[in-house]
């Protein structure tokens, strides 16, 4: 499969490494400051798949443009930050998003062990370090990124729903540019959650405590170190992946949390 990549920021090397790992070919890569036409990139006859690694507020327009050219699309998380956009994309074929934690060995273990007839008490503690320049860029602008719940939380809200099922009740108790917390309840679980980018670097964790047992998905600076993107591309080669319909679940959950806080 041949790939054109739009966006050459922080996550770009992770994608190029993953594409090479599955035997793919990169036909072109364009980023900020490049002199390129989006239309020319997505119409490139040598390209099978458009990979979108741009700021979150640009995702929808770029995905739609690529889909109109009948290209396969792979977009970094979050797919979009508005549920109505995700519903529109759900009507299109061959659109996928990157939520690579679903391929984490701990997730596979938990997926096989969780029983819908058992009750679960979950503490979700996602506490990472981000230096000040992180907030000075587009990720620190809620209107562009969707805020901390989309920028950081989307991975873990997706995992919660993937492992334990749809939420029934949501509560948000605190929210700022750097932290948020609350509760999410489902048919057989209650989850107390915290998401923060204000942790000390040496104390970083991405932890689910499930009925007293800790499952730490990573204590590193970012999930790129876990080398899970290659599994996303393997799925893509097999015409599989996380579709807009599936991504919509966590997007709607985050919207509910924001709405709860505003009310």
pLDDT for the residue 221: 78
Q: Does residue 52 have a cis peptide bond before it, meaning omega lies within 30 degrees of 0?
A: no
The tens digit of pLDDT for each residue in 93-136 reads: 999 999 999 999 999 999 999 998 999 999 999 999 999 999 99
Report yes or no: 97 and 78 within 8 Å, Cβ to Cβ: yes
Domains and CATH numbers, the chain: 2-100+228-241 (3.40.50.720), 101-220+250-262 (3.30.360.10)
- How much is the average pLDDT of 234-250? 96
Mean per-residue pLDDT over the chain, rounded? 94
pLDDT for the residue 225: 65
* 3-state secondary structure string across the chain: CEEEEECCCCCHHHHHHHHHHCCCEEEEEECCCCCCCHHHHHCCCCCCEEEECCCHHHHHHHHHHHHHCCCEEEECCCCCCCHHHHHHHCCCCCEEECCHHHHCHHHHHHHHHCCCCCCEEEEEEEECECCHHHHHCHHHCHHHHCCHHHHCCHHHHHHHHHHHCCEEEEEEEEECCCEEEEEEEECCEEEEEEEECECCHHHCEEEEEECCEEEECCCCCCHHHHCCHHHHHHHHHCCCCECHHHHHHHHHHHHHHHHHHHC
- How much is the average pLDDT of 19-46? 88
pLDDT for the residue 224: 67
pLDDT for the residue 103: 95
pTM for this predicted structure: 0.95
The tens digit of pLDDT for each residue in 172-203 reads: 999 999 999 999 999 999 999 999 999 999 99
- How much is the average pLDDT of 160-179? 96
pLDDT for the residue 197: 96
Q: Which residues of 182-215 are buried (b: 16+ CB within 10 A; e: fewer)?
A: bbbebeebbbbbbbbbebeeeebebbbbbeeeeb
- Per-residue pLDDT band for 220 (boundaries 50, 70, 90) equals confident
Per cent of the chain over pLDDT 70 is 98
Is residue 263 predicted with pLDDT exceeding 80?
A: no
pLDDT for the residue 39: 83
Is residue 28 predicted with pLDDT exceeding 70?
A: yes
């Amino acid at each position: 499969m041949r790939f054109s990549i739009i966006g050459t920021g922080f996550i770009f090397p992770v994608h190029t490494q993953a594409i090479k790992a599955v035997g793919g070919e990169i036909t072109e890569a364009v980023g900020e400051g490049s002199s390129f036409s989006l239309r020319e990139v997505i119409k490139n006859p040598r390209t099978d798949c458009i990979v979108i690694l741009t700021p979150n507020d640009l995702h929808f327009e770029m995905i739609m443009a690529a889909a109109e050219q009948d290209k396969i699309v792979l977009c970094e998380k979050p797919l979009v930050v508005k549920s109505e956009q995700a519903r529109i994309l759900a009507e299109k074929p061959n659109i996928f998003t990157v939520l690579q934690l679903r391929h984490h060995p701990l997730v596979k273990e938990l997926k096989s062990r969780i029983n819908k007839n058992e009750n679960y008490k979950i503490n979700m503690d996602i506490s990472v370090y981000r230096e000040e320049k992180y907030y000075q860029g587009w990720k620190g602008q809620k209107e562009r990124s969707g805020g901390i719940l989309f920028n950081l939380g989307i991975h873990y809200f997706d995992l919660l729903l993937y492992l334990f099922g749809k939420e029934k009740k949501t509560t948000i108790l605190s929210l700022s540019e750097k932290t948020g917390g609350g509760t999410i309840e489902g048919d057989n679980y209650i989850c107390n959650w915290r998401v923060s980018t204000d942790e000390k670097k040496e104390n970083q964790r991405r932890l689910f405590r499930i009925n007293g047992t800790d499952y730490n998905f990573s204590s590193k600076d970012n999930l790129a170190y876990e080398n899970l993107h290659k599994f996303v591309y393997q799925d893509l080669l097999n015409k599989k992946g996380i579709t807009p319909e599936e991504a919509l679940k966590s997007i709607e959950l985050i919207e509910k949390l924001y709405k709860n806080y505003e009310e």
